Amino acid sequence: MSHPLLVDAAWLHEHLGDPAIRILDATTFLTQPEGDGYYDVESGRQAYEKAHVPGAVFADLLHDLADETAATTFTALPSAEFAAKLGALGVGPGTHVVIYDQGLGIWATRLWWNLRYEGFDDISVLNGGLPAWIQAGNEVKTGVESYAPATFEAHRRPGLFASKEDVLAAIDDPATVLVNSLDKETFEGTRQTYARPGRIPSSTHVPFPALLGEAGFRSAEEVRPLFEQADALDPSKNVITYCGSGIAATGLAFHLARLGRPDVAIYDGSLTEWAADPSLPLITG
């Protein structure tokens, strides 16, 4: 069964009683300094317990759904571990996952990508997240909720993941487009968040904030020109998106899927990994 990639609060309210629905709150908080310097991240578990969509369970991207033994934050878990975690949240065959967060939507799209990476497609993202739900006048719940455990079957899609080696090869590959999703200052290297400033050579640029409207994501047609300018809609080319830790990059991949490109790869380590290796090239300006 095909589900809409993006749903609004009215749609979710209407489907709250659907026994197949699994609502996942993926809230995470990222605090960036005003100038240079790396950001701080915090699980949104406490925020979930204070207010969430009725029926929602908390999906902890920072701890439970990331490989905490890896060198970079938010690194994707091995398939079997991810499957066990999602099964414990009630996600399995025949379920329809609806994801939201309490921020800009990039945490919801990160979990959307995690699920698709493991072969699960019955997913929708709530446009505008919890703020839109509340703005629509809907009730929220407190505390912790749960679904009956399920058996999540992981079938990994390697093509949706890009490694450091893949990105290095893509720099001089005319058949691959690298798209940076960070702010203009970081893209140009006038702001240094990571170990070294700058962007990966040959990168085009679609800053994630440009995809946002007043109440969530802009329409697919509104953002189409941004991706056309970045050369990300040419079906003859592969696309890899990246950011700092593989989060905002999934926002670009989500919008590209809305535009008919569900095949976009995420550089999971992104600039946190890349900039830490002095042998890898970065350019500024």
CA distance 43 to 27: 7
* CB-CB neighbours of 38 under 10 Å: 15
CA gap 15, 138 in Å, rounded: 13
Alpha-helical (H) ranges within 89-128 are: 106-117
CA–CA separation, 6 vs 152, rounded Å? 22
Residue closest to 106 by CA, chosen among 180, 188, 36, 181: 181
- Report the length, in residues, of the chain: 285
Q: Name residue 40's amino acid.
A: D
Q: What string of H, E and C letters represents the secondary structure of 11-30? A: HHHHCCCCCCEEEEECCEEE
Q: For the purposes of burial, counting CB atoms within 10 Å of the CB of 137, is it exposed (0-12), middle (13-18) or buried (19 or more)?
A: exposed
**For the range 260-265, what are the long-range contacts, defined as Cβ-Cβ under 8 Å and sequence gap of 24 or more?**
260/233, 261/232, 261/233, 261/235, 262/116, 263/159, 263/160, 263/238, 263/239, 264/160, 264/232, 264/239, 264/240, 265/159, 265/160, 265/161, 265/162, 265/166, 265/238, 265/239, 265/240, 265/241
End-to-end Cα distance, the chain: 47
Out of 91, 104, 230, 243, which one is annotated catalytic? 243
Active site includes 243?
A: yes
| Residues recognised as catalytic | 243
